[in-house]
Structure 1
C-alpha cells in the first residue's frame, strides 16, 4: 500500500489549486459582529448545520496550514478541514488556504493570529519553549509512551490531546497569547531518527551531527553521543547530501514529505522508549470571539475528522517509510539495546526535569501522563488495535487503508478520542 497515497496527494494538490491563497483575514467580513447566537446540540447533522447558517453573515477565514508541501499528509488533513467548514456551512464560511510560511514564520504565528493576518493556523508549539514552558513539559513527559508503530502511535495522540485539555496551565499559555485551542497536539506521529548512513550502534553515533526539533532532543542526542544541529527544515535535504547533517529527529510524515528518505534512508525507532515528540497545535486567533456560536461549534465538531486525518497521516507515513527506505538502499528498524538504554537514561533525566518544573506540578503531571497512557493503551486493546508485527514489516500487517478517503479503520479510536477529550471542550 506504500505507493497508493501518491494518487490521493495529486488529487488533493488539484483541489488546493482551486482554493484562494490571498486576501485579508476577516472573520467579520460583512462588517457585522457575528458572535453569540443560537447553537446546535452535539452530533448535529450536516443538514442541521446548513439550516442553522441560513441567517449568518458570510465569514472569511485565513488559514495557514502546517506544511509548505501541498502533497503532504498534513496538507490533506488541513484542506479537508477547510473544505468541510465551507460545505457544512453551505458556503457561508470561506476559508483561504496559505501554505506554511506564506503569511508568517512559525514563531511569529501568535502575533499574526492576534493582529488579524491569520484566523486559523498550525502553530509549531515546541519551537518556543520559553513562551510555552508548560506545553514543553508535557511534551517531555510524553517520552513515557512506547514508540511502537500502531498502539504507541494511537496512544501518543490520544494521551497528548487529553492531557493538554486537562492541564489548565497549558491552556492559559495559549489564551494569554491570544490563541484558542482547537486541536492542541498534532504530532504528525512518533519521532524517528533518520540517517544518511548506517548508525546501528552508539559507536556509530559518536560525534554525529543530529538535527532536533524539540528542546528535549538536545538531552537525548547528547546521550546518544551526537551533537545537536540547528539545520533548518528547508535546508535538510542538501545538508544530508553534503554531509553537514548525519541524522535527524522528526516524525515520519515530516521526513517523508520533505523527501529526506532519498538522502537519509536509514531509519531508527525506539521500542520501549520514545524520543520526545515535537508537536504543533491547530489554533484560532482573535477573530474567534467574533464568530457566531454555531461556527465555533462546527469547528469543534469537525475535530473528529481532523484527528482521523491526523492519525491516517501518521500511520501511513510509517508504511511509506518502510517501503521508501528499502527502495533507497536503507531500512526501518529499532535502535539496538545499547542505544535504547542510553535513550532511557536521557528520558529519565527529562522526567526528572519535569518533576522540578517551575510552572506546574511536574510530579503530578508525570503521574497523570502515565495514567493516561495506561488508559488509552487499554482502550486501543478493547477496540481491537494490536501490534501484529514490528516496524520493519509494518506494511505487511497494518490493516488500515492507504486511501485517504477510507479511514473506517480509525473510526473507533477517533470516535472515542473525540468523546473523551474534545466533546467536553465544545463551545456552549
Structure 2
C-alpha cells in the first residue's frame, strides 16, 4: 500500500475562478469532455506518488471546478474536501488544477446536479437530503442507518464505512445519482453521527415539549416528534440567528457542523444518544458530465486519493467531538447523553422508521435493512481488529481520546481508512 502522508505543506486557499470547465492545450471542455483525451492507459492500484507523476507526463493539463461542502473554507468538511483536491493536484505532478469554490458560490445546494450537467461544475459535494423527492431511494437508505451505533470512536468509524458500503451496493441509490447525470466518488459522507444542540439544558423528557428543532433529514420529523418537539425548516445560513433569537430551540446535526458554523456560541448544550441513533444527514462527493471525457489515469487518481478523504472524514467526526465539548464548556454548556426517557422515545421512533424502509416503494427496504445490519457487524469487527475501542463515554471523551485534533495529523485514522479503501473504494475504481 502506498504512503499515508498525503497532504504535505500548508493548505493553500484557492480563489473563486471563472465559471465552466476549462483546460489548457485541448483538454476538457464544458460540454462534457474531450473524447480524444478520454480513456487511455491507466495505472495499477498502489502506485506511488512518483509513479503517478511519471504516468502523467503525456497528459495535457486539465482544470476542474470543484464546489466543496461548506461556506467556511476552514470548517472540518471544507478542510477534508480541499485536502483531497490538493492531493489530486500534487499526485498529478501539477497536470491537474482544481479550482475550489465555497458551497453556493457556483450553485445552490439544489442546483448542484444541474451545474454538474451543464459544465459549471465538474466535481461537487452534493447535499443529497436537500432533494428528498429526487433522491428518494437515498433518503430511504439513509433512514435505515438509524441502526448505526452512536459511540464516539468505534461507532463513528463504523458509521462512515457502512454508509459508503451500503450506498455503493444499493442499485436504486446509485440510480438516483446516475439518472441525474452524476458519477459517484462517495455515495454518503456525513461529518459524524447526529447530535442535538440546544439553547438550554434539556435533561428531562418534559423539557422537549414544543421545542422548535431544526433537522436535515426526512426521518428527523418523526424523531423530533418522538422527543415532543416540532421539526422546523431553517436554512443552514440562517440557523445561528434563529438559535440566538430563540426562533429555534435546538438543531440536529453533527458536532463538526455545530463547531464549524459557530452554533455552540448560542446553543452550547449537546446531547447524544447512548445506544439509539438519530438519522444521519449525509451528502455525497460526485462528478458531472465531464467525467466521461477525463483520461482514465485522472479518474483512477481521484479514486485513489479517496483514502485520504476518508481519513479526513473520520477525523471530522471524532476529533470534532473533543473540540465541541471544550467549546460548549467555554460557553457555559456541556456534552451529555440524552435522558433515559428521551433515549427510549428515539429508540421506539427508530422502529417505526425501519418499518417504513421495509415497506419502501423506492428500493428493496427489507434487503437494505439487512445489508445495513450486516455491514455494521462487519465493520465493528474490523475496527476492533485494528485496535480501536471505547475507553470511556462521551461525558469524559476529552480525557481518553487518543487521536489528534490537528487536521494535518491523520495517523490515528489512517489504518481504518486503508481498509475502507481496500474493501469498498478499490472495487469501484475505474479500469
Instruction: Indicate the TM-score class for this superposition, using the shorter chain for normalisation.
Output: over 0.9
Contact 1:308-1:414 at 8 Å conserved across structures: yes
Aligned: 1:31 with 2:26: yes
The equivalent position to 2:356 in structure 1, one of 339, 353, 358, is 353
Cross-structure match for 1:226 = 229
Cross-structure match for 1:416 = 419
Contact 1:27-1:287 at 8 Å conserved across structures: no
Contact 2:129-2:218 at 8 Å conserved across structures: yes
Contact 1:27-1:119 at 8 Å conserved across structures: no
> CA-to-partner distance for each residue in 1:6-44, whole Å, 9 max, x for gaps?
xx9xx64xx21xx23111332655334220000000001
> CA-to-partner distance for each residue in 1:108-149, whole Å, 9 max, x for gaps?
100000000000100001111111111111110110012111
Aligned: 1:293 with 2:296: yes
**Secondary structure, aligned partner of 1:155:** helix
The CA distance in 1 between the partners of 2:320 and 2:405, in whole Å, is: 10
> CA-to-partner distance for each residue in 1:245-271, whole Å, 9 max, x for gaps?
000000111111110001000110011
Query: CA 1:325 to 1:75, structure 2 compared with 1: closer, same or farther past 3 Å?
Result: same
Aligned: 1:22 with 2:25: no
Contact 1:26-1:59 at 8 Å conserved across structures: no
> CA-to-partner distance for each residue in 1:388-428, whole Å, 9 max, x for gaps?
01111111111111222221111111111111110000000
The CA distance in 1 between the partners of 2:429 and 2:235, in whole Å, is: 37
> CA-to-partner distance for each residue in 1:291-327, whole Å, 9 max, x for gaps?
0000000000000001001111111110111111111
The equivalent position to 2:198 in structure 1, one of 195, 200, 217, is 195
The CA distance in 1 between the partners of 2:168 and 2:352, in whole Å, is: 25
Cross-structure match for 1:65 = 68
Q: Which runs of 4+ in 1 moved over 6 A?
A: none
Contact 1:69-1:99 at 8 Å conserved across structures: yes
Contact 1:25-1:60 at 8 Å conserved across structures: no
**Secondary structure, aligned partner of 2:412:** helix
The CA distance in 2 between the partners of 1:207 and 1:281, in whole Å, is: 33
Question: RMSD of the alignment, in Å?
Answer: 1.2
**Secondary structure, aligned partner of 1:54:** helix
Superposed, 1:83-162 pairs within 5 Å as 83-162=86-165
Superposed, 1:23-422 pairs within 5 Å as 23-26=18-21, 29-32=24-27, 33=34, 34-422=37-425
The CA distance in 2 between the partners of 1:233 and 1:204, in whole Å, is: 24
Contact 1:322-1:393 at 8 Å conserved across structures: no
Q: TM-score, normalised by structure 2?
A: 0.94
The CA distance in 1 between the partners of 2:93 and 2:217, in whole Å, is: 40
Structure 1 stretches lacking a partner, 5+ long = 1-7
The CA distance in 2 between the partners of 1:404 and 1:254, in whole Å, is: 15
> CA-to-partner distance for each residue in 1:54-103, whole Å, 9 max, x for gaps?
11111110000000001101111111111111111111101001000101
The CA distance in 1 between the partners of 2:114 and 2:204, in whole Å, is: 43
The CA distance in 2 between the partners of 1:378 and 1:90, in whole Å, is: 38
Aligned residue pairs total: 415
> CA-to-partner distance for each residue in 1:202-228, whole Å, 9 max, x for gaps?
200000000001111001001111011
